Amino acid sequence: MGRLDGKVAVITGATSGIGWRTAEVFVEEGAKVVIAGRRAPEGEALAKQLGANCIFRKTDVTEEDQMRALIGAAVDKFGRLDCIFNNAGGPAQTGGIEGLEVDRFDQAMATLVRSVMLGMKHAAPVMKKQGSGSIINNGSIAGHLGGYSTSVVYGAAKAAVIHLTKCVAMELGESGVRVNSISPGAIATGIFAKALGVETGAADQKAAGMREVFKTAQPIPRAGIPDDIAQAAAFLASDQASFINGSDLVIDGGVIGGRNWTQQQQGYVQLRKMFGQTVD
């Protein structure tokens, strides 16, 4: 028996990385899923892999008509909607404030924030009518603290997602609908290569190499992987999380908890040497 038996979920941004793995986990746990993304070949391949419990809908998550149709497809196909994981996103313009281009700023905000708003807007009436549901939004540790993204726009957008989540949770919780977010840390996906201008398909192939780069970024000595986020999303979608609402679940191996112990101790040793003290 799976944690999500009998549940129906929509997962955006499912053609790679976190969304792809989340779709796999949800089906493994017994859910029926509608996956969405802009790349039809990848989405159709995943739907074929997952079988009758999964359908793909090509979707631009920044367009309201397409998001409305995506939610409608889930209800039409499977009869209800128990979860939406607003996972779709992408990189924003890198660099500092002086070089920001307004058009690129607006595009990033549409992809990262408007898409989340639209997912919640059109899932809400379905879930309120049912008297139940779980909305999960993809945040980031960059939305908690400055300096955790190469893009100030990305960090600001993710902070907006985290706070929007809390605001909507206060509203929909009264109707039995839970709204939470997940803030990943250094997860080895193609988004980092995409931020540097690498073509989408090629960027996804770089994800494995990121594991070596990220393994010392936090106290837990390995990189985060999409499954870390997928398993958390499955928990928040399940009845095991029925009293969790308005929360942001940080999954980062401890990176924003403070300085790594070894780093701090190395600084301590250097300080003692500066004062001419013997170091044991």
Residue in 20, 26, 154, 235 annotated catalytic: 154
Query: Is 148 noted as a catalytic residue in this protein?
Result: no
Measured CA to CA, the distance from residue 27 to residue 51 in angstroms comes to: 9
Catalytic annotation, residues: 154
